[in-house]
Amino acid sequence: MKQLVKDCIRQHMLDLEEIVYQHDELSLTLKRILCCMVDDIVNFVSNAIQEKYDHEISNSELDKEYLKYKCIMDEKVKELICYMVRLQKEIK
């Protein structure tokens, strides 16, 4: 995978982690757990795309393909945060 795409993916991971850390209602432990999950999700998607196309895909095509999944990941991470907030409230 080319460095530009790697940088874009890494920045997306950092952006999602920032969203997690902005939720003050989450405990620090839950924030750490969610950030590990975010890293795993982003790595899984980027690796799956790379494996799907192997070396046949250009940098711009890979970027476009990743952007399709980026929106889905953003939405699902936000849903996961909401779920964890509710779960934490129920436990307390």
Query: What does the pLDDT average to over 17-35?
Result: 90
CA 82, CA 63: separation in Å to the nearest integer?
28
Q: Over 70: is that where the pLDDT of 55 sits?
A: no
Residues 57-75: tens digit of each pLDDT:
677 777 787 888 888 888 9
Average of per-residue pLDDT across 45-56 = 75
**71-87 pLDDT, tens digit each:** 888 898 899 999 999 98
Write the DSSP assignment of 1-64 as a string of letters: --HHHHHHHHHHHHHHHHHHHT-TTS-HHHHHHHHHHHHHHHHHHHHHHHHHHTTSS-HHHHHH
User: Minimal CA–CA distance to 50: which of 9, 91, 12?
Assistant: 9
pLDDT grade for 54, boundaries at 50, 70 and 90: low
Task: Tell me what pLDDT residue 56 has.
Answer: 64
CA distance 2 to 51: 14
